[in-house]
């Protein structure tokens, strides 16, 4: 009987620890940890670069030198009330069809792109709304060019935030 009891206790302990670790939010990559804190401090110190919503808090940082084929770019850090975080790079360019928005998401906070979305609208707000309303339809494959943009813009973000300190 005591063997069965010991086995049940060990299995229960293992199950409990696995469930507890599965419910924890993913950790921020060491590559991003300093950037995230600097971005939060920067956005918090400037008017209009931090937004609080019922879903969570969002921090923004416009990039001074976007990739050559885009007119504008900005990073958006989201801290959702449910305990998750994400970092996205939004790339903006004007086309004959309107404003094109490409969103590259790091949903695991591991300094890599896991998702990409693309939409065109009459305005930036229209393109952003289209992605938010029907994100699955507008999801696109992550390309090597997107990865290159992500790495370059992340380096640019680090440099710009360091220069602001």
Summarize pLDDT for 37-68 with one digit per residue, the tens: 999 999 999 999 999 999 999 999 999 999 99
Residues 143, 148: Cα–Cα separation, whole Å: 9
Nearest-angstrom CA–CA distance, 105 and 150? 9
Mean pLDDT of 73-95: 95
- CA dihedral sign, ordered 153, 156, 160, 162: positive
29 DSSP β-pair partners: none
Contact 156, 65 (CB under 8 A): yes
Interatomic CA distance for residues 132 and 136, integer angstroms? 9
Q: Tell me phi and psi for residue 53, to 5 degrees.
A: -130, 170
Rounded Cα distance between 139 and 133, Å, is 12
Q: What is the pTM of this model?
A: 0.80
């Amino acid at each position: 009987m005591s063997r069965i009891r010991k086995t049940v206790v060990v299995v229960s302990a293992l199950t409990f620890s696995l469930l507890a670790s599965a419910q924890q939010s993913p950790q921020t990559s060491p590559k991003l940890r300093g950037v995230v804190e600097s971005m939060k401090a920067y956005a918090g110190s400037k008017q209009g670069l931090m937004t609080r919503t019922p879903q969570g808090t969002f921090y923004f940082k416009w990039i001074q030198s976007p990739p050559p084929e885009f007119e504008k770019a900005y990073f958006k850090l989201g801290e959702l009330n449910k305990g998750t975080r994400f970092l996205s790079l939004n790339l903006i360019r004007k086309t004959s069809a309107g404003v094109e928005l490409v969103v590259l998401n790091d949903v695991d906070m591991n300094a890599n792109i896991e998702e990409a979305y693309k939409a065109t609208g009459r305005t930036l707000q229209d393109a952003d709304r289209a992605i938010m309303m029907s994100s699955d339809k507008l999801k696109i494959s992550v390309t090597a060019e997107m990865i290159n943009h992500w790495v370059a813009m992340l380096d640019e973000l680090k440099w710009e935030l360091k220069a602001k300190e």
